[in-house]
Structure 1
Amino acid sequence: MADQKRAVTPEDIKKIRVVHDPHLSSDGEKYAYVQTSVRNDREYNSHLFIHHFTDDIPVQWTFGEVRDHSPRWSPDGTELAFVSNRSGVHQLWVMSAAGGEPRQLTSLKHGVSDPDWSPDGKYLLFTTSARADEDIFSHEESPDEYETKPVKIERLRYKSEGNGFHRGRRTQLALLDMKSKETRILTSGAFDHHSARWAPDSRQIVFSANRNPDEDVSSVLDLFIIDTETSDTVKLTDSTGVFSNASWSHDGHRIACIGHELEYQGATLNQVWIINPLTKERRCVTIKWDVQIGDAAVSDLRAGQADLSPVWAKDQKHLYFSASENGNTGIYQMDLEGEITPVHEEDNHVFGFSYHPRLDFFIAGISDPSNPGDFYKIEKPEKGKVRLTDVNADFIQSVHLSIPEPVAAKAEDGWDIQGWLMRPAFFEEGQHYPLLLEIHGGPHAMYANTFFHELQMLAAQGYVVLYTNPRGSHGYGQTFVNACRGDYGGKDYTDLMTAVDQVIEQYDFIDEERLGVTGGSYGGFMTNWIVGHTNRFKAAVTQRSISNWTSFYGVSDIGFFFTDWEIGARVHDDPDKLWDHSPLKYVQHINTPLLIMHGENDYRCPMEQAEQLFTALQYLEKPTMFLRFPQSGHDLSRNGAPGLRVERLKHMAAWFEKHL
């Protein structure tokens, strides 16, 4: 019975199992995937599961207090390679398809990532990192190696969110010979190499890198081909854009990739490109489709979207890829002239897929607002999808979920703004409820028809939850996503306020005297901006936010180019513009009780952004509280320590309860 279900709680984040990264075997009889669950307040477990289509349920293949991920079937289907930290550092391991214990393949000092089998099965390609002239085949480094040593910094890009200080290390491609078990570093130089994939001849590899002298300042990403026998390297693109996630046609005559030419800097839509590896001729085949290629959906269950390369059909006349439009992420088929046909286009979120070219079917990971995510088999568009897993059945059956209602707002200048409204759990007609406005980060991202635990938890606390995609969001074309650049706090702000006004007018159960607002990253910036420009909200929670663009320029891992891209100024040539767009400038106008939450290891929006805002508010005796989360980065809400994720939600709920 529905009335026997309980409300969603902050602690439920520990109960949800997250599945991702499906990979079909070459015979098409089974697929492997990763399932992540909470181990304790500090750690997660990630294990590999195998699902034979003749079996009703998947079988768990790896066990223990470990993080196993990136499963990759050998071309003949006899082995499954994967990455695991079971030896302490993430290394390559392999298991027989018949079962048995995993065998360790690498012992590199800084670990490995992104494995890919050669088509002949003789090699495993992967990435690793190293400093110049460093012996990465020696013993593993001590975790305390750098704690008592100064950090020598000689380059602009010396740190990054998720990786911390680079300490001179660069990402290189490496080959493991499966017969001799010897590893050879394939690339070299003071450059980072990514997204490497084999050609059908098992000799050439296409990869992405910025090998230009100004690579620290420039944001371009080129495609290269390297010959694994001679190490000869050919550059395919001409440093005019960002190209990655390449895949070879089955005959090796063409390469498909995802990219753009930075026409709108970081707000440029991704497109699908076809490149002739011999002539280097390239053409954009989705140029007529005003849609973001790839997964732009945001959720608090997945940190970052899967970087899926375009997949070639068996006939080599069609490609498959994901794209994000109008709050949905689906799978699409395209011929080489740019004619696009939906394969799966529903009100949900495809967070990954694997395609079998010979048997012509997909395994797709799909989430919607009532399901954190499961796998489905999709044979043909007209046949729909067949559900294969039900990994969160116990959780879903035990809780009352609020199903979002689509809402549409008309901006002041006539632009259409899409959003969703969630009624409070156990909603009762005739009652009046406070409203919370949620604002996503990015800003070039997209709220979507996907599961969002935080939103469900707030609805369970008795709030109406409103979340929208204001201009600057993905999913509505190039003009829309570019529209906030140079105008942060302008029409993106009025889009949000207009949406609030219109849902209040439309829904008579909203108490317009009890409004709250929260958001993270860009959403945290906008939360700070809102409370500095209106007193209509009675409580606010700002998370991993930006408060001062002038200092952000020099402290964020992306600040030196992001401020120019998004605000339109650099600190050395127009500090006034950066200050005009900084919420800190308007701190004297903030009267809304503001909870500031920030991770101490955030390299994207560093802690000083929160400290400046809190210090100013405290000095002015404004109602505020500051929560610092130890050993937590920018993705605290998505992949931080489970216990801290729960604490974050509890404090958010308590703050709104106190002030609303």
Structure 2
Amino acid sequence: MRLFSLRICLALCLAQLAVCAVAQSGPGKGRVTVADAIEMTRLGVASYEDDSATDAALYSPDGRWFAVVLKKGNLRRNTVDYTLEVFRTDDALAGRGPARVVKMSSSSNRAAIAGVKWLSDNRTLLFIGETPGRIGQIYAYDLSSRRFTQLTHHHTPVAAFDASSHGRVIVFEADPPVTDPLASPEVERNGFYVTGENLAEVMLAGSPYAKYRSRDSRQLFLMVNGRRAIRMPAEDGIWPNLTLSVAPNGRYALVEALVRDVPKSWLGYRDRFLHEFVAAKKAASATSSVEQYLLLDTRTGIFTPLIDAPKSWEHDGFLWLNGGRSLVLSKAYLPLAEVSGAELDERESKLYAIEMKLPSHTFEKILEGNAKATEWVASSKEVLFEQSNRAIEAYQQRGAGWDKVAGMTVNPERDRPRVTYEQDMNTPPKLWITNPVTSQRVLLQDLNPQFRHVCFGMEREISWKATDGHWVHGGLYLPPDYQPGQRYPLVIQTHGFDPSRFWIDGPWNSAFAARPLAARDIVVLQMGGASGDAQYRSTPEEAPQQMAAFEGAIDYLHGKGIIDRERVGIIGFSRTVYYVAYTLTHSKYSFRAATLADGFNAGYFMRVAYPNQAAEPDAVNGGPPYGTTLSNWIEHSPSFNILHVKTPIRLESYSVAGVMEEWEWYSLLSTMGKPVDLVVLPHGTHLLVKPWERMASEQGNVDWFTFWLKGEEDPAPDKRALYARWRKLRTMEADQK
């Protein structure tokens, strides 16, 4: 699909879109709603949602079976329902459905089915399973007997795991026990000393919400041959979404951790972001934001650093070789100790792919640069690397070293049928299977047949010039019955555009609601990025550059006759809360309404409430808020310029502790008599999971922007109090003028 730009006559394109929209909105088709987004079936493995992903199947070692995990929200029960579907490969190629189906549901923020792994017997699947009322544990499912066996009986939820290929060695992470060490008879008598807690942790101590303290990292356990699991104490922090991998032979486990005591020598690495976090000040008891690989010896239970160097910030990639006797690390830093001269200079500034030999912890360089290790071909002892331009290179293990191989490596596993999860901006995802011999494609599953009766409107990719001159791209969602020449309200969703993805709400389930807003005759712009964004990250230029992109989008769309620039709304989520806050306090452009959802705002209160995270607000504001750099805060910080806000603000917080992040704006705007609304979802998580919480956030924003941009109210009886409050906010806004 071609990129729309200023050099293309947009008017002709929009006329074509109008024809498409009319065709979509035929008889019997309803307009899309937030419920459609929540109840949409999609792949249920987290890594698939991080990419546009195409490979959807998890094959058994012999290739005769494959598994697919799917999920969908259930609004009636407030659960997320998962299915593990297991196909015979030959049956799938013939168009037949799954041979085995496992169903589980989660009423928590955790997945009901996660971490699916085949064992080497080709009939056993391991996974974490959870149902309402029963916390997540590791299960084994035997395809032949269709029997489940619960392998763990841990007293807290199992959050992640991996196992050796034969299943006899299992390493798992579990949530720490729900305790409140600050609520005890001793504390009641003597009080307590603050030893690194942030303000939220202190305020929640002894309250019903003490369990939301996030100070304690996950705990790691080792289970061998089905015996009782033993805890493996780690000094460093084991947090969600970090690597946990057991060698195929079970001898070692690779564990990614956040370092508690960062070696000062690591200041020698020249990567700006790494240097920032190595240098950051923190409480002695807190973990840093610097990552390192640890190696767990499953025979001795001893942790050692895999390499005396931090893990790079990039998604690096690693592979076990020869059953687990060595590892290939890509995008790896090398140790700075005991080297000098040109070698030291290179190690400070470059990344490498290396083979790390075990148990000696000696390494061999394979290649220099950012290539990512993707595949180990055991038959030819070759590792395949993907370069930044997607080119594939093969390196072969020869004696003690590695040589680049000319030509493409043949891997028998690559001849398996490919199961793909296919979608684009305007096509909902479907599962296909392709025969590698005949290239014949068979539709495996239409995941959402109900969408045949839903009118989505159209999305197109566009690009425009920001007011500071740089180019930006994004996706433009048009109402289903879009009429060229009519000016529509606009809502800007601030980041994450991907032209290969079909989204109803947006890149994440929190706050964004693109197509439901478009269904209310509001044009929505899903912002992407610019090629130079990274150079401004964590500098005082980060927010001004993004503000210029928002302003340029308004100019561009208004100039093309698509929007009414006096009716513009904007939603910031996570990091982009800061961009929106900065824009609302520094831009001369008018915004009719805004949402700031669960994110970083670079404010003074956030800085003092979370001292261990001071590095980021200091970086974007040009230094700490005292001494010679105080004037930088007065100029840059949104909270120091909040007097300039003229926009009604909706604030969203997805935990009790998270209210700290929104409180500065809520308090200041309230005391100044400016319209502000704060909704707290006390049991949520940053990326909202549970259907009712998603509905509160996403539908709340549909109602909020429809009210402020169009003056419309939902007549539902349960929303009367909501609109009564918003009408009072509108009166407050009028009094400010």
TM-score, normalising length: structure 1: 0.77
Q: 2: CA distance between counterparts of 1:341 and 1:356?
A: 16
Runs of 5+ in structure 2 lacking a partner? 1-22, 46-56, 107-111, 202-209, 263-283, 335-348, 396-402, 505-512, 710-737
Q: Is the 8 A contact 2:259 2:290 kept in 1?
A: no
1:188 correspondence with 2:233:
yes
Report what 1:91 is aligned to.
Answer: 137
Q: 1:64 to 1:212 in 2, by over 3 A?
A: closer
Q: Is the 8 A contact 2:457 2:480 kept in 1?
A: yes
Q: What does 1:399-478 align with in structure 2 at a 5 Å threshold?
A: 399-412=454-467, 414-440=469-495, 447-453=498-504, 454-471=513-530, 476=531
Q: 1: CA distance between counterparts of 2:667 and 2:449?
A: 46
- The one-letter amino acid of 1:171's match is Q
Q: 1:591 to 1:406 in 2, by over 3 A?
A: same
Q: 1:229 to 1:258 in 2, by over 3 A?
A: same
Q: 1:651 to 1:182 in 2, by over 3 A?
A: same
Q: 2: CA distance between counterparts of 1:241 and 1:565?
A: 22
Q: 2: CA distance between counterparts of 1:146 and 1:62?
A: 40
Q: Is the 8 A contact 1:258 1:270 kept in 2?
A: no
The 3-state SS of whatever aligns with 1:409 is strand
Report what 1:239 is aligned to.
Answer: 309
Report what 1:317 is aligned to.
Answer: 382
- The one-letter amino acid of 2:102's match is T
- The one-letter amino acid of 2:566's match is E
1:17 correspondence with 2:68:
no
Q: 2: CA distance between counterparts of 1:623 and 1:29?
A: 61
Q: Is the 8 A contact 1:504 1:510 kept in 2?
A: yes
Report what 2:220 is aligned to.
Answer: 172
RMSD, aligned CA:
4.1
1:25 Cα deviation from its structure 2 partner:
1.1
Report what 1:304 is aligned to.
Answer: none
Q: 2: CA distance between counterparts of 1:576 and 1:273?
A: 45
Q: 1:385 to 1:154 in 2, by over 3 A?
A: farther
- The one-letter amino acid of 1:420's match is G
Report what 1:114 is aligned to.
Answer: 160
Q: Deviations over 1:625-660 (max 9, x none)?
A: 332333223223xx1x31232232232222222222
Q: 1:145 to 1:227 in 2, by over 3 A?
A: closer
- The one-letter amino acid of 1:482's match is Q
Q: Is the 8 A contact 1:439 1:468 kept in 2?
A: yes
Q: 2: CA distance between counterparts of 1:322 and 1:163?
A: 44
1:51 Cα deviation from its structure 2 partner:
2.4
1:520 Cα deviation from its structure 2 partner:
1.0
1:648 correspondence with 2:693:
no
Q: Is the 8 A contact 1:312 1:320 kept in 2?
A: no
1:538 correspondence with 2:592:
yes
The 3-state SS of whatever aligns with 1:61 is strand
The 3-state SS of whatever aligns with 1:512 is strand
Q: 1:483 aligns with which of 511, 536, 553?
A: 536
Q: 1:232 to 1:525 in 2, by over 3 A?
A: closer
Larger helix percent:
2
- The one-letter amino acid of 1:94's match is A
1:258 Cα deviation from its structure 2 partner:
5.5
Q: 1:203 to 1:253 in 2, by over 3 A?
A: closer
Q: 1: CA distance between counterparts of 2:422 and 2:142?
A: 29
1:184 Cα deviation from its structure 2 partner:
4.0
Q: Deviations over 1:488-532 (max 9, x none)?
A: 322221122123322332x32322332222221222222222222
Report what 1:61 is aligned to.
Answer: 101
Q: Deviations over 1:276-311 (max 9, x none)?
A: 32564365857367xxx7xxxxxxxxxxxxxxx843
1:206 correspondence with 2:254:
yes
Q: 1:217 to 1:116 in 2, by over 3 A?
A: closer
The 3-state SS of whatever aligns with 1:110 is coil
Q: 1:627 to 1:155 in 2, by over 3 A?
A: closer
1:609 correspondence with 2:661:
yes
Q: Is the 8 A contact 1:113 1:128 kept in 2?
A: yes
Report what 1:50 is aligned to.
Answer: 86
1:93 Cα deviation from its structure 2 partner:
0.9
TM-score, normalising length: structure 2: 0.69
Q: Is the 8 A contact 1:209 1:223 kept in 2?
A: yes
1:582 Cα deviation from its structure 2 partner:
2.4
Larger mean Cα displacement after TM superposition, 568-577 or 375-384: 375-384
Q: 2: CA distance between counterparts of 1:448 and 1:400?
A: 19
Q: What does 1:570-609 align with in structure 2 at a 5 Å threshold?
A: 570=624, 574=629, 576-578=631-633, 580-601=635-656, 606-609=658-661
Share of identical aligned residues, percent?
A: 18
Q: Is the 8 A contact 1:46 1:69 kept in 2?
A: no
Report what 1:526 is aligned to.
Answer: 579
Q: 1: CA distance between counterparts of 2:198 and 2:648?
A: 37
Larger strand percent:
1
1:16 Cα deviation from its structure 2 partner:
0.9
Report what 1:499 is aligned to.
Answer: 553
Q: Is the 8 A contact 2:385 2:394 kept in 1?
A: no
Q: What does 1:254-273 align with in structure 2 at a 5 Å threshold?
A: 254-257=326-329, 259=331, 273=353
- The one-letter amino acid of 2:664's match is Q
Q: 1: CA distance between counterparts of 2:376 and 2:350?
A: 18
Q: 1: CA distance between counterparts of 2:543 and 2:392?
A: 38
- The one-letter amino acid of 1:93's match is Y
The 3-state SS of whatever aligns with 2:102 is coil
Report what 1:281 is aligned to.
Answer: 363
Report what 1:634 is aligned to.
Answer: 686
The 3-state SS of whatever aligns with 1:425 is coil
Q: 1: CA distance between counterparts of 2:294 and 2:609?
A: 32
Larger mean Cα displacement after TM superposition, 531-540 or 554-563: 554-563
Q: 1:232 to 1:645 in 2, by over 3 A?
A: closer
Q: 1: CA distance between counterparts of 2:414 and 2:526?
A: 42
1:245 Cα deviation from its structure 2 partner:
5.3
Q: 2: CA distance between counterparts of 1:163 and 1:446?
A: 35
The 3-state SS of whatever aligns with 2:40 is coil
The 3-state SS of whatever aligns with 1:388 is strand
Q: 2: CA distance between counterparts of 1:254 and 1:523?
A: 41
Q: What does 1:76-155 align with in structure 2 at a 5 Å threshold?
A: 76-86=121-131, 88-128=134-174, 149=184, 154-155=195-196
Q: 1: CA distance between counterparts of 2:470 and 2:621?
A: 22
1:6 Cα deviation from its structure 2 partner:
1.5
Report what 1:350 is aligned to.
Answer: none
Report what 1:38 is aligned to.
Answer: 73
The 3-state SS of whatever aligns with 1:45 is strand
The 3-state SS of whatever aligns with 2:580 is helix
**Structure index of larger Rg:** 2
The 3-state SS of whatever aligns with 2:564 is strand
Q: 2: CA distance between counterparts of 1:384 and 1:524?
A: 47
- The one-letter amino acid of 1:648's match is S
Q: Deviations over 1:335-356 (max 9, x none)?
A: 348999999xxxxxxxxxxx98
1:460 Cα deviation from its structure 2 partner:
1.2
- The one-letter amino acid of 1:221's match is E
Q: 1: CA distance between counterparts of 2:406 and 2:456?
A: 35
- The one-letter amino acid of 1:496's match is F
Q: Deviations over 1:96-115 (max 9, x none)?
A: 11243422111122232333
Q: 2: CA distance between counterparts of 1:276 and 1:318?
A: 14
Q: Is the 8 A contact 1:158 1:165 kept in 2?
A: no
The 3-state SS of whatever aligns with 1:614 is helix
